[in-house]
Chain A
């Protein structure tokens, strides 16, 4: 079980209360009409399968029902950072390597 910090509730809760919602920071194309099938397919279906740091969207489903971002190490499961929607991660794989 992960113990996850909810930035809205301001405390750690059990993983049972949360749902992962996949890769974070996926930007919807501004003009879907002008997308090629490949671009639209990439947007809809293709996701990273990272080994290491991964920026993910989570929702506090049984709690405050708000979304937020987590940077998690997919190898160790360690949560490196929790940050709000609209913010950018400060822990990135580039920095982790340096």
Chain B
């Protein structure tokens, strides 16, 4: 472990926790998303119209933060680091153009950041955060699918056991639930688009499921 800190390049993190760069910023280092094997980019643009549009947001930084929502110092530190407040209302999210924070539980949030900023942001947490907290970089274990289109609600009705009506599931709402029995964190982006955060190990299964479930609407792959 000792050479982790030597090659870890982040002095701020030294002596606190081993912070590793999970997403290489060197283009020569090959990185493979959980859906690498199906080669989505080669399918992009093949079909023009459909009820469902799908794209993968690969190589995003996923950070799971657990801390105390009653600890004002922690809350202000998070705001200082991310430029965004932790959403304290259950099932809500706060986002800006770089960072998305999803409420997961009263003491847990899923933060996504641009892949090339993950290491820097994780280092900032290690440097500035005080008190009892936990930050886990799960970037390699998850990926994000964005599904949108006129039939997206009909598609999701076949996949998830939550109420998708916009009065119950408005834009910005986040739910952790099951998607075709696999776990997923689902956020509504707007009336006709949703984001699914899924596990690496279920990515292929969910891709196969979505293909099958979208057959009646027509599936368009976007880049």
Contacts and interface: CB of A to CB of B under 8 A. Distances in A.
A29 B178 CA distance: 37
A17 B162 CA distance: 10
Interface string A13-49: 1101100000000000000000000000000000000
A5 to B, nearest CB: 12
Contacts of A63: 175-177
B11 interface: no
A64 interface: yes
B106 interface: yes
B106 A62 contact: no
Interface string A52-66: 000000000011111
Given A17-B178, A62-B176, A11 B91 contact: yes
Nearest to B176: A63
15 contacts: A8-B106, A11-B90, A11-B91, A13-B162, A16-B161, A17-B161, A17-B178, A62-B178, A63-B175, A64-B104, A64-B106, A64-B108, A65-B108, A65-B176, A66-B105
Q: Secondary structure at chain B's binding surface: helix, strand, loop or mixed?
A: strand
Q: Secondary structure at chain A's binding surface: helix, strand, loop or mixed?
A: loop
Given A9-B90, A11-B91, A17-B177, A62 B105 contact: no
Contacts of B90: 8-11, 64
Interface in B76-100: 90-91
Contacts of B106: 8, 64, 66
B91 A14 contact: no
Nearest to B104: A64
B183 interface: yes
Interface of A: 8-11, 13-14, 16-17, 62-66
Nearest first, the 9 closest Cβ-Cβ pairs linking A and B are A14-B161, A64-B105, A10-B90, A62-B178, A63-B176, A16-B161, A9-B90, A8-B106, A62-B177
Interface in B45-93: 90-91
B105 A65 contact: yes
A11 B161 CA distance: 13
Contact of B91 (A9, A62, A65): A9
Contacts of B105: 8, 64-66
Nearest to A1: B161
Contacts of A11: 90-91
A65 B66 CA distance: 13
Contacts of B176: 62-65
Contacts of A17: 161, 177-178
